[in-house]
Amino acid sequence: MLDDESKRKAGIARLIHDLRAAKVELLSAQCAADRLRLQYSVADIVSFGERPALKGAIASAGARSRFFASIEVQLKQAERRE
């Protein structure tokens, strides 16, 4: 029983660490997107950007958005229960 509790606490600590690391990485990605947005027009990005890179970035952004939207829904539900 104690071993299970230690594993649970270790898992929670790992999750908190991973969330903090993800926050930094997501901020970096946001800065990169802001640099593009501020330096180039959408038309130029579409005209001159590498299509596979653009499609990959769009797919990645969409997946992140869906993932965090699902977390947001559950977070709001948890907050209403509190």
Angstrom distance (rounded) from CA 36 to CA 48: 13
Q: Are 26 and 64 in contact (CB under 8 A)?
A: yes
**Percent residues over pLDDT 90 in the chain:** 93
| Predicted TM-score (pTM) of this structure | 0.81
pLDDT at residue 1 is higher than 90 = no
pLDDT confidence bin for 3, thresholds 50/70/90: confident
Average pLDDT, the chain: 96
Distance of CA 15 to the CA centre of its chain: 14
CA terminus-to-terminus distance, the chain: 28
pLDDT at residue 79 is higher than 60 = yes
